[in-house]
């Protein structure tokens, strides 16, 4: 029986400030706010079933004076120092951090590495697209450099593509080929997300049609052929109703699922419960909980002593999540 994994997480959207202005994004705001320590701690305390603290937020939020001022008021000299402090808070409360910070340079990645079980950056597409014309952080060469830097630092990494944002079919294949080539050099990409664009009201692309199920299935099949076998393909279970055809096409992971927080990026699509997912999969596969760091990298020891003790506590003998916790 095939194994399909997922992670129980709590979604922590530290700020909706972002320097990028992607034509499809409903998350960023021109009136940004920053979560304070109490808000973060309250969410962590509510998520006792979770093992992953998913930190997701806008890129380079300090371009906004209100964010810089709030950080100063809270006693932080930079947003990076604030991220580290929130990562540490998560660890102290028994959660393994996974941080999606947007573009970071190598020194910033190095500073965050000890406090993260894994990190991530969606490539989205490896080609220039009109929807990213006002988004300096979405330049393909900038994103690819960060993914490579993470490999050089041996950070277990998540990336992926966003399907239906104006790219052509051959752009998708090229993007997957680029990801595969980087992994061949550094062997650090644990999963690739194939995510379908979902239109948001109030955005430039609110009237764009999302990709069809057929397009998504073909993209998954292509990715499975192109990617090395040790990279797992993930699809978000809140964006696809019928999961089983995707499992047959090569998907082996369903990402993070929370029973406390919504998907702040796609809030119109609530998370399905684990029980609902099991019913969708019709007993044809074994659903197994994992940590934000995949079993391969648990066994390889790709983590620092700051989180090593917690990984050992939360993982079983195979490197998956310990079901006894």
The CATH number given to whatever domain includes residue 63 is 3.20.20.70
pLDDT band at 325 (very low <50, low <70, confident <90, very high): low
Q: How far apart are CA 24 and CA 131, in angstroms?
A: 7
Q: Look at residue 137 in the predicted model and tell me its pLDDT.
A: 97
pLDDT tier for residue 324 given thresholds of 50, 70 and 90 = low
What was the pLDDT predicted at 177?
A: 98
Q: Tell me whether residue 132 is in a domain.
A: yes
pLDDT of residue 261 exceeding 70, the answer is yes
Range of the domain at 135: 2-314
pLDDT of residue 245 exceeding 80: yes
Q: Would residue 319 count as lying in a domain?
A: no
Look at the chain and report how many structural domains it folds into: 1
Q: What is the pLDDT of residue 195?
A: 97
Q: Which pLDDT score is estimated for 284?
A: 83
List the single range of 20-29, 87-96, 259-268 with lowest mean pLDDT: 259-268
Mean pLDDT of 267-282: 88
* pLDDT tier at 282, thresholds 50, 70, 90: confident
pTM for this model (two decimals)? 0.96
* Exposed e or buried b per residue across 218-243, where buried means at least 16 C-beta atoms within 10 angstroms of its C-beta: bbbebbbebbeeebbbbbbbbbbeeb
pLDDT at residue 295 tops 90: yes
Could you read off the pLDDT of 146-156 as tens digits, one per residue? 999 999 999 99
Give the model's pLDDT for residue 241. 86
Q: Would you say residue 33 lies in a domain?
A: yes
Residue 325 covered by a domain: no
Residue 183 is assigned to a structural domain of this protein: yes
Is residue 323 assigned to a domain? no
- Whole-angstrom CA distances from 89 to 10, 61, 260, 307 are 13, 21, 18, 12
Going by pLDDT thresholds of 50, 70 and 90, the confidence category of residue 320 is: very high
Q: Looking at residue 280, what is its pLDDT?
A: 83
Cβ–Cβ < 8 Å for 293, 287: no
Q: Does residue 324 belong to any structural domain of this protein?
A: no
Q: Left, alpha or beta for 205 (phi > 0: left; psi -120 to 50: alpha)?
A: alpha
């Amino acid at each position: 029986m095939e194994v399909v994994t997922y992670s129980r997480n709590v979604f922590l959207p530290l700020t909706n400030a972002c320097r990028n202005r992607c034509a499809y994004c409903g998350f960023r705001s021109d009136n940004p706010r920053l979560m304070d320590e109490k808000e973060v701690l309250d969410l962590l305390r509510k998520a006792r079933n979770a093992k992953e603290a998913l930190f997701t937020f806008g890129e380079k939020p300090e371009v906004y004076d209100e964010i810089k001022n709030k950080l100063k008021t809270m006693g932080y000299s930079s947003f990076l120092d604030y991220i580290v402090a929130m990562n540490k808070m998560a660890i102290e409360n028994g959660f393994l951090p996974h941080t999606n910070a947007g573009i970071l340079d190598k020194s910033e990645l190095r500073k965050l590495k000890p406090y993260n079980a894994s990190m991530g950056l969606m490539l989205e597409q490896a080609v220039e697209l009109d929807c990213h014309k006002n988004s300096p952080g979405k330049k393909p060469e900038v994103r690819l450099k960060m993914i490579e830097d993470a490999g050089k630092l041996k950070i277990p990494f998540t990336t992926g593509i966003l399907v239906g944002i104006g790219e052509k079919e051959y752009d998708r294949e090229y993007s997957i080929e680029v990801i595969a080539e980087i992994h061949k050099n550094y062997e650090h990409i644990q999963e690739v997300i194939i995510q379908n664009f979902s239109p948001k009201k109030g955005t430039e692309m609110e009237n764009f049609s999302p990709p069809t199920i057929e397009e998504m299935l073909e993209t998954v099949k292509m990715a499975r052929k192109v990617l090395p076998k040790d990279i797992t393909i993930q699809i978000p279970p809140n964006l696809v109703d019928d999961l089983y055809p995707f499992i047959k096409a090569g998907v082996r992971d369903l990402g993070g699922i929370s029973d406390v927080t919504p998907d702040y990026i796609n809030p119109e699509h609530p998370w399905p419960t684990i029980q609902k997912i099991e019913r969708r999969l019709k007993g044809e596969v074994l659903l197994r909980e994992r940590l934000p760091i995949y079993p391969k990298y648990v066994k390889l020891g790709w983590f620092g002593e700051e989180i090593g003790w917690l990984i050992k506590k939360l993982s079983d003998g195979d490197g998956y999540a310990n079901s006894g916790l």
